[in-house]
Amino acid sequence: MSSASSIKQGWHNLIERNIVMQFIDVTLRGCAQVMFQNNPLTGLLFFMAIFLGGYLENLPYIGFACLFATVIATLTAYISKIDLASLRSGLYGYNACLVGVALPTFLDNTPLLWFTIALGSIVSVIATLSLADFLKSWKVAALTAPFVLVTWTILLASYAFFAIKGIALPKADLSQQYIDASSQSVDYLQQFTPDIFRGISEVFLFSSVAVGIIFVAGLAVSSIWAALFAIFGSLLAYMTASLLQADFVNIHTGLYSFSAVLTAIALGSTFNKPSLRVAIYTVIGVIFTVFVQGALDTALAPIGIPTLTMPFVLATWLFLVPNKDLMPQDRQ
């Protein structure tokens, strides 16, 4: 513990003296902030998980795209002379970090993809500033809305532009009631534990147990509570989606869990004092996130884009706005 503290102190001294190390520190924190952690070690573990995830999906450049996007956004924030405390905490990096994972996941690896990642990263900083100003009356954070809005714009635009073509987007189609109940014969219990971690890895659009475990480890080095809420959110969403008899393949790959994971961390660890009331509120919020996930899947079907983390953003805004008095001042 004393040794961990002295490493931490050494790191702080280093980043104050050396601008390059500071830049690396801010970039790492940018990645960690995707799950609300202001911790460079968490960011390092997250980046490792992302490189691994890309490698496992045979898209090894995803890790580089994610790093590239986070660096571009961090540079943009430095150049724009933004409020330094937020900048140093990585709050201008996490949206670009997700842009950098999402665009190469859905679009073809063309030269213009990389130009588009750079543009999306710059605009994600502008969108973060814009949304922060937009939301200031309600004292809630922008969450991952800048990432979602910028990425939706680019993915929708990919339908019109041959030079950045979508290769893994859902086909635009009219929704029909899901009626295949044969999934009910699946042995949920056996699938249970790995699926929980797959759900957590889907926050970064991967579906891998190993990647999910590293994300949880990254959370744990920063906050045990955040790690526990992530697991709890994934589990509760899994149970809710199973009870509602959603398509089992989607449950299994974690598509009902990733937004719920973020909702659970946000609601569970944002409030000032843990209590029975906060616990019940978080449970309701996570269950409702599963409904929002199903709803947005249907609503976006005709335009052929994924929900990304918008179910988390919408559910969390809905639940945070009327409870600002329960939040600690510095989280507002």
The binding site for its own copies (CB under 8 A) comprises: 112, 119, 122-123, 126-127, 129-130, 132-134, 137-138, 152-166, 169, 172-181, 241, 243-247, 284, 287-288, 291-299, 301-304, 317-319, 321-322, 324
CB of 303 to its own copies, least distance (A): 5
CB of 210 to its own copies, least distance (A): 28
Tell me whether residue 96 or residue 227 sits nearer to its own copies (CB atom): 96
CB of 300 to its own copies, least distance (A): 9
* Closest C-alpha to 238, from 217, 218, 261, 219: 261
Tell me whether residue 20 or residue 85 sits nearer to its own copies (CB atom): 85
Q: How far apart are the first and last CA of the chain?
A: 31
Tell me whether residue 2 or residue 177 sits nearer to its own copies (CB atom): 177
Tell me whether residue 23 or residue 178 sits nearer to its own copies (CB atom): 178
* Closest C-alpha to 170, from 311, 300, 309, 313: 300
CB of 180 to its own copies, least distance (A): 8
Tell me whether residue 161 or residue 192 sits nearer to its own copies (CB atom): 161
CB of 76 to its own copies, least distance (A): 10
Tell me whether residue 13 or residue 245 sits nearer to its own copies (CB atom): 245
Tell me whether residue 208 or residue 259 sits nearer to its own copies (CB atom): 259
Radius of gyration, CA atoms only, the chain: 19
Amino acid (1-letter code) at residue 194: P
CB of 295 to its own copies, least distance (A): 4
CB of 297 to its own copies, least distance (A): 6
Q: How many CB atoms lie within 10 A of CB 228?
A: 17
Tell me whether residue 35 or residue 123 sits nearer to its own copies (CB atom): 123
CB of 329 to its own copies, least distance (A): 18
